[in-house]
Structure 1
Amino acid sequence: MFYALICNDKPDHLELRMDTRPDHVAYLDGLKQSGVLKIAGPFLDPDGKPCGSLLIIKADDADAAKAVADGDPYAKAGLFETVDIRPYNWVFNNPEA
């Protein structure tokens, strides 16, 4: 099953995001290599600066999806104000369908 991880940064935490980014990217690379990560990228504020993240992952269940979210270096660093984990039905342009 697919899950969407919708993460919103805490206000005024851009510096923490940038400082933690190399570890975050390495984590995502590992998820990609294992086949878990399908899509990832930042949300942007009106000035074009990152202010959150969207990940689409493949996981066996909601607990496994939460474990992926909790393992993200951004989450461990306390960057996110909220993380919403939702089951996702990838209907259009799904390369696995």
Structure 2
Amino acid sequence: MYFVLMCKDKPDSLELRMATRPPHVEYLKDLEARGILKTAGPLLGDDEKPVGSLWIIKAADKQEAEALAAGDPYAKAGLFASVEIRAFNWTFKNPEA
């Protein structure tokens, strides 16, 4: 099953995001290599600076998706004000369809 993770940064946290970015990228690369991460990228504010993250992952259930989100170095560093996880029906341009 696919899940979308929408992670919104705490206000004024760009410095923390940038400092934590290298281990975050390594974490996502590992998820991608294991076939879990399908796509990801930063959410941008009006000033085009990152204000959050969006992932699409493949997980057995919501509990697994929550565990994957909690393992992200950004989450461990306390970057996020909120994390929303929703089941996702990838209908158009699903490369696995």
Question: TM-score range, shorter-chain basis?
Answer: over 0.9
In structure 1, how many angstroms separate the alpha carbons of the residues matched to 2:17 and 2:36?
22
- Report Cα offsets for 1:30-84 as digits up to 9, x if no partner: 0000000001000001111000000000000000000000000000000000000
Q: Which residue of 1 aligns with 2:70?
A: 70
* TM-score between both structures, scaled by the size of structure 1: 0.99
Amino acid at match of 2:18: M
Matched, 1:84 2:88: no
**Secondary structure in 2 matching 1:7:** strand
**Superposed counterparts of 1:1-97, under 5 Å:** 1-97=1-97
**Secondary structure in 1 matching 2:11:** coil
Q: CA deviation at 1:26?
A: 0.2
Give structure 2 stretches of 5+ with no counterpart. none
Alignment length (residue pairs): 97
Structure 1 stretches of 4+ moved >4 Å: none
Aligned CA RMSD, in angstroms, stands at 0.3
In structure 2, how many angstroms separate the alpha carbons of the residues matched to 1:6 and 1:86?
9
**Secondary structure in 2 matching 1:24:** helix
Percent identity, aligned pairs only, is: 63
In structure 2, how many angstroms separate the alpha carbons of the residues matched to 1:35 and 1:18?
26
Amino acid at match of 2:43: F
* TM-score between both structures, scaled by the size of structure 2: 0.99
